[in-house]
Structure 1
């Protein structure tokens, strides 16, 4: 519940930031109305189109049971165990080893894995990864991340448009609000950074929960721990490149590096996730089939 409250607060902060930026940059009542409208549109877009957008970003291709029987059976078995409808299954044509889930709820969900992850993970570790993604679906994290990505993208887009207007002669202001050019400039520079930090913080709060859900679903926390270590090593050599706004959907950071520590990381440190999983191992049955 604590993580859910944190996530709700950070999503509210993102929408509030979008409204505040619009109010500050455009000014007065007009800016407030436009900001509320933008927040509403981006949230609706995320609700109805989140799965299609994420799958398109990674060029994920749908697969049938005949095309990937082992993967299909694994997703079906774990979905039955979790008591949720089986999500659609996709494969991303990339040798970068990664996976993600998307969709607004368990009835409209998809799980995607890369060709690379199928090549490097043994079945027990792949099962841990799939269970992790199914937990994201169960917890509605897929919708949360989609909303965060879309709102953060809208903030960056708005800031970019204002920066263009400043370069090419400035913009109009509402008649009941003056506006400080320096304040507008700072808003344009700092708002996207603040939005990104909030978005990534949302992602980090959900990963530990999904790891724990995977451990409970498979009864094998150590397999997921090994998978995370293997995936992190692989990502250093062959990252999965795509729109950075959708990086938090992935099970592991697709780009290596520790710029400014964890502030700009979409996931908790792999070492911390592994330690938490091994701690769970002491409390769970050895394996559930």
Structure 2
């Protein structure tokens, strides 16, 4: 399953890069656009890889948390990082009432875990451990890099779509030496369909990674019900304390705090919380049955 998810993620990232190349090719009108698109995709991928943590932390106004300010939290993260086989990440806190958390950073050696003040105030120690383990799994699986690259590429596609829109409104793209004629269907797709497709692909990548992070968290803590309880609280309290978040950064969060009604359901960055909880509860039952059957097998 892990390999299948990695292949699926790589394929979706490839589609995003392909859309950028196609848009650049059509914008320039000849083969030079292919090279321009590849250069844009490479530049965006490198920029998001190197600077994604700064953008995410600034978006949520997160600040470094000193060890003496929250020694229990630091000890928890150190212990769980050791279990996960990861170096100790930097720890930040965001001054938000909505309980949530996220991980960011270009690799495990440059990773950061940020929690909101609402999470520290609302969850039990076991639930906080489960959420931290979930975010550590994102770091171990390098989901922080994947999500940053996907978001940046999707944003680039939207930007190119806007340029094409202006060109279609104020002047044709054809007519320059070496440039191919316009195809209205391709132009329509690049202006409307490509940005929409990019958004849907970005969300699909995020949803694919969340189930894996839930499973990894259980492997670290051994307590699926603690994560199920944490997710239930995060989901409920996100309605009581709404978060004004940059939609581009929402895939990083443990639970999506934005609306999931109507058309917004198409752009869900996370699987339904109810389904995540159901899977965790089923996993807890499996673990309980294995525990009960072990003495019988030994006998």
Distance 1:179 1:5, change over 3 A: same
- Are positions 1:200 and 2:194 aligned together? no
Q: Aligned equivalents of 2:56 and 2:22: distance in 1? A: 27
- Structure 2 counterpart of 1:266: 269
Residue 282 of structure 1 aligns to a residue whose secondary structure is: helix
Shift of 1:122: 0.9
Q: Bigger CA drift: 64-73 or 32-41?
A: 64-73
Asked whether the equivalents of residues 28 and 179 of structure 2 are also in contact (C-alpha less than 8 Å), the reply is no
Q: TM-score, normalised by structure 1?
A: 0.93
Residue 104 of structure 1 aligns to a residue whose secondary structure is: coil
Match of 2:278 among 271, 275, 279: 275
Q: Aligned equivalents of 1:174 and 1:70: distance in 2? A: 67
Asked whether the equivalents of residues 22 and 35 of structure 1 are also in contact (C-alpha less than 8 Å), the reply is yes
Match of 1:45 among 41, 47, 53: 47
- Gap regions ≥5 residues in structure 2: 292-299
Q: Aligned equivalents of 1:284 and 1:219: distance in 2? A: 9
Shift of 1:7: 0.6
Shift of 1:86: 0.5
- Structure 2 counterpart of 1:72: 74
Q: Cα RMSD (Å) of the superposition?
A: 1.8
Shift of 1:278: 1.3
- Structure 1 counterpart of 2:237: 234
Higher normalized helix content (fraction of residues) = 2
Q: Aligned equivalents of 1:123 and 1:102: distance in 2? A: 22
Residue 267 of structure 1 aligns to a residue whose secondary structure is: coil
Q: Aligned equivalents of 1:210 and 1:251: distance in 2? A: 9
Shift of 1:182: 5.3
Q: Aligned equivalents of 1:5 and 1:26: distance in 2? A: 32
Shift of 1:181: 4.5
Match of 1:179 among 177, 182, 206: 182
Asked whether the equivalents of residues 103 and 144 of structure 2 are also in contact (C-alpha less than 8 Å), the reply is yes
Q: Aligned equivalents of 1:16 and 1:245: distance in 2? A: 20
Counterparts of residues 129-140 of structure 1 (less than 5 Å)? 129-140=131-142
Q: What are the superposed Cα offsets for residues 216-245 of structure 1, whole Å, 9 maximum, x if unpaired?
A: 111111011011011111112223222211
Asked whether the equivalents of residues 12 and 205 of structure 2 are also in contact (C-alpha less than 8 Å), the reply is yes
Match of 1:191 among 183, 191, 194: 194
Q: Aligned equivalents of 2:160 and 2:240: distance in 1? A: 35
- Are positions 1:143 and 2:145 aligned together? yes
- Gap regions ≥5 residues in structure 1: none
Q: What are the superposed Cα offsets for residues 120-171 of structure 1, whole Å, 9 maximum, x if unpaired?
A: 1111111100000000000111110011011111111111222233334455
Q: Which has the larger radius of gyration?
A: 2
